[in-house]
Amino acid sequence: MIVDDSAVVRQVLTASLASDPEINVIGSAADPLFALDKMSKMWPDVIVLDVEMPRMDGITFLRKLMVEHPTPVVICSTLTEKGAATTMQALAAGAAGIVAKPKVGLKNFLQDSADSLIGTVKAAARVNINRLIPRRQAVATSLSIPVPVAAKLTADAILSAANYAMAETTERVIAIGASTGGTQALERVLTALPRVCPGIVVVQHMPEKFTAAFAERLNSLCQIEVREAKSGDRVVPGLALIAQGGRHVLMKRSGAQYYVDVVDGPPVSRHKPSVDVLFRSVAKCAGRNALGIIMTGMGDDGAKGMKEMHDMGAPTLAQDEESCVVYGMPKEAVKLGGVDNSISLDDIAQEIITYGRRR
């Protein structure tokens, strides 16, 4: 079911999705109230939902769905700063994925992005919806007062801490890859980390323009510093760098220091940013001094890169099937032989803390 107040968007989305023989568009509606009336006759497997609509906005409708009739939802949001911030609210409320749409050139853009749209809808159809429903604790966290600036140690402050030797700050790094369901999973992990922990680089499959808002949201909730990665950023304790949407991120080393390089290029493993690109670069520059973690997501991105990390002596972890929204990427990494252990989402933060304390 497609819910969008734009007739053009409904038309183009319907045509794009209907081009795939495995997808049946059962209807479209201009707002959630019209949609509910149509869905009472046949409930869809996936809903593609606009955010700004008359009578009831998309966020309100999404929250209502997750309480009354949990259903995978793909948010169709504009490529604007306001649209990105609203989309973060939708992901926190349980949305399964994002489809970006520009303010101008909409028809051509959506037609050119048909493969991405179809892939996102198919991934949503396979999610464990119970894992997407926000827990009371998660909802309370998302509504809590942001960590005060005075209480948050910046990465530079941690580097200058008297008892934190340079060898320690540069030796251990963490590489994390995630896709469908990853925004909630990453929030669970990163908010559980103390201010001082190994430097982290994250690839979360997400369109460009949205990763900056995602990083800002995490930064407001976490004790560690979280920001969108830029070329030249150092990977240091107490800092998590989120790969930019639409760009690859690589980890590199200069002497005793690790840093990231953000580059353009074709999709790898059908994604940009790609987990494989990050993991392979980490295997090359950090070897056994890195911890690799692959989390919930559809497809096989990251499996080959994790195998390379494993073969270079890096410890590697996969989120287990029971706690995944979609057990795709971790499953492929396990099948390829690149995973040392599969663990629950709730245990990942403690593994990172333990790894950082090892000599």
pLDDT confidence of 317, banded at 50, 70, 90? very high
Query: Which pLDDT belongs to residue 286?
Result: 96
The model's confidence at residue 110, banded by pLDDT at 50, 70 and 90, is low
Q: How far apart are CA 158 and CA 176, in angstroms?
A: 21
How confident is residue 133, by pLDDT bands cut at 50, 70 and 90?
Answer: confident
Angle between helices 58-68 and 32-39 (to 10 degrees): 30
Average confidence (pLDDT) over 311-321 = 97
**Residues belonging to the active site:** 179, 205, 301
The pLDDT of residue 358? 77
Contact 299, 115 (CB under 8 A): no
pTM score of the predicted model: 0.85
Question: Which is nearest to 2 in space by CA: 78, 75, 111?
Answer: 75
How many CA atoms lie less than 13 Å away from 190 in the CB half-sphere?
Answer: 31
> 306 and 332 in contact (C-beta within 8 Å)?
no
Two tokens at 90?
């939708």
Whether residue 129 has pLDDT greater than 90? yes
Task: Give per-residue pLDDT as tens, 284-301.
Answer: 999 999 999 999 999 999
